[in-house]
Structure 1
Amino acid sequence: MTSRLSIALIGLSIALPAAAQQQPQPDPKDTEAWAPEPARVVPASSSAAPSDAVVLFDGKDLREWVAAATPDKPAGWTVENGVLTVRGGSGDIQTRRLFGDYQLHLEWRVPATLGGTGQARGNSGLFLAATGAGRGYELQILDCAANKTYVNGQAASLYKQFAPLANACAAPGEWQTYDVIWTAPRFEPDGALLAPAYVTALHNGVLVQNHAALQGETVYAGKPFYRAHGPAPIKLQDHGDAVGFRNIWVRPL
């Protein structure tokens, strides 16, 4: 025999799904964010600088650059036909301005005729933050289209730390691009490391460094380590080879 209580419970269990269907449905507008609005940036055609970028080299002069060893003196490289070229033996150059986090675009070209092998083929370097006395964090510039060298020293490597995820090198004499997102390291007031530097980089449009956490500043021998520093210049290396540069711009983040 079925009790009145059982009948009531059965009726309740049948009614529950209908009651659940009567619950208010979420409104998609509740998850729409309308403020704050991102700043308007006018994109540029090709690889020209966007509207909010600091142009570091536009093919005309070196007003944004100084000698790295003696920052009170002008940069000693040559500018001709819209190209900034390493003048071997004149020393590294660095920006007058200091930067923290940024997005950087740079185009580079090794000479069409190269006689060396390994590290002696169009060697230069992009130092994402120059911390003085030859120190900093280097993204390697080198001909590696058909040139074998140690993988953490080839083009687009974070020198002696991370090999690139791919070899995207163009042939000698062809223009190549680096697009870099640099997140500067953070330090405690006492100089202790709070957060490492991170690098994301594309070489000729190919992802070659994916949010890589640097182990410290670049060193040629031994293990990298950090020294506390603040905003720093961006530096280009004189390694003796006549590497050319053009269309360099940066967007502080």
Structure 2
Amino acid sequence: MKSHLLLLSAMATMASAEPLESLPLFNGKDLTGWNGEGYVVEDGAIVCTPKGRILKSDSRFANYALDLEFKLTAGANNGLGIHYPGHGDPAYTGMEIQILDDAAEEYQDLRPYQFHGSLYNMVPAKKGALRPAGEWNIQRVIVNGDDVKVELNGQQITAGKLSELQQKFADHAGVKRRSGQIAFCGHGDKVSFRNVRITEWPPAANVAGVRAAGFEPLSEGKDLSAWKVEPGSEDHWTMVNGIIKYDGRSTAEVKDLWSKKSYKDFTLVFDWRWSDVGKKMERPVIGADGNETGETVEVEELDSGIYLRGNSKSQVNLWNWPVGSGEVYGYRMDKKQAAAVRAAVTPKKKADKPLGEWNRTMIILKGDRLSVMLNDEMVIENAQLPEIPAEGPIGLQHHGHAIDFANVWIRED
């Protein structure tokens, strides 16, 4: 197993390319994909009204470039929230990039980290690139792992390392986050936003290393050629910049995504993240023996999984339950199985990263024995799956929640 640990670590090597395709976050017509109060759509732009406060995206994002245009009125104040968890003040529960007519007379005594483009209260922006109130500005925000950068009208005005800021601002909750929703942070002043687009890219992967180890890609290129896309799923399971994206809204009879090829023994490595925001629900606490303890915890309900050998019972769960991802629910819940079987398919610990961040997973299936590693932690080790089929395809399963997959590689063992 040690060699698999080394391989998984090797996949963390930086080897990413500049993304090519951007997607709209605002359709120019209405606020589909956003929720909040005090914002309207006028002339193809999102406009903050006197009642405008927080308008947040319905989706979470991790590594991306956000492009937008904005227009200020005289003295207007707003903000762009990133890594926002959906509650509280985005400047502190997430991070806020200042959007401000800092040329206005009332702002002449601002502190350096309050001017336009600053990472509010932490990183000051360079001045001089902001156009006068009433003119459209072009802004790009790059959020890539540890790095945050802001470009305004073709000039880089802000750059920060989140790891360094986390040490400097130890009490700031938002700087510890590496994913979240995007938000406009209004103060009742009229500010307009248009052409809001996002370009996402997957986590870096040591492609040469995994190829040398005998793995073949299941998510390479610009299409889903390795997968069966059922009629009704074409616009819902898509490939964007190497990311397999599912929006949770397929109308196909078979909504899951199945590999065209069948596999016997294999090692599967892949990244995945929740792009969705789930509803709060109570979910059971599971003991090490695979039985419910009688306690429940309120979680944000999100649910998906990986079907092994074409079999729904042998599903490795990806979800936000207290027990953590990696569980094989179909076997744990089967009271006909031996106690040792049910205990073995229960994760040793919850190793999931915070919602919205990328998780790196390895599934090893040999005969009827399963091991699962999640974020360098062995959560399932040599668990038996009695009567699992000897061969079958791999399925990316879902329960109506938006989810991303990337760097999907498989080796037949």
Does TM-score exceed 0.5, indicating one fold? yes
Equivalent in 183, 191, 205 of residue 243 of structure 1: 191
Q: Which residue of 1 aligns with 2:138?
A: 177
For the aligned residue pairs, the C-alpha RMSD in angstroms reads 2.9
Q: 1:54 to 1:76 in 2, by over 3 A?
A: farther
Is the CA contact 1:104–1:251 (under 8 Å) kept in the aligned structure 2? yes
- Offset of 1:161 from its aligned partner? 0.8
Q: Which residue of 2 aligns with 1:128?
A: 82
Equivalent AA in structure 2 for residue 231 of structure 1 = S
More strand by proportion, 1 or 2? 2
**Rg larger in 1 or in 2?**
1
- Offset of 1:61 from its aligned partner? 1.4
Q: Is 1:208 the counterpart of 2:157 in the alignment?
A: yes
5+ residue gaps, structure 1, are 1-35, 42-51, 68-74, 115-120, 185-196
Is the CA contact 1:108–1:245 (under 8 Å) kept in the aligned structure 2? yes
1:1-253 alignment runs, 5 A limit:
41=20, 52-67=21-36, 76-111=38-73, 114=74, 121-131=75-85, 132-134=87-89, 135-145=93-103, 147=105, 148=108, 149-184=110-145, 197-213=146-162, 215-216=165-166, 224-225=172-173, 229=177, 231-253=179-201
Q: 1:137 to 1:246 in 2, by over 3 A?
A: same
- Deviation string 1:33-84 (CA, Å, 9 cap, x unpaired) is xxx996983xxxxxxxxxx2220114211112112xxxxxxx5411111121
SS at match of 2:113: helix
Distance between the aligned counterparts of 1:180 and 1:136, measured in 2?
Answer: 15
> TM-score if structure 1 supplies the norm length?
0.62
Is the CA contact 2:94–2:173 (under 8 Å) kept in the aligned structure 1? no
Q: Which residue of 1 aligns with 2:313?
A: none
Is the CA contact 2:123–2:160 (under 8 Å) kept in the aligned structure 1? no
Q: Which residue of 1 aligns with 2:293?
A: none
Is the CA contact 1:101–1:182 (under 8 Å) kept in the aligned structure 2? yes
Distance between the aligned counterparts of 1:228 and 1:248, measured in 2?
Answer: 26
- Deviation string 1:210-251 (CA, Å, 9 cap, x unpaired) is 3443625xx9xx953457656311011111111111110011
Counting matched residue pairs gives: 178
Is the CA contact 1:178–1:203 (under 8 Å) kept in the aligned structure 2? yes
5+ residue gaps, structure 2, are 1-14, 202-413
Equivalent AA in structure 1 for residue 111 of structure 2 = Y
**Alignment identity in percent?**
27
Distance between the aligned counterparts of 1:143 and 1:227, measured in 2?
Answer: 25
Distance between the aligned counterparts of 2:97 and 2:52, measured in 1?
Answer: 21
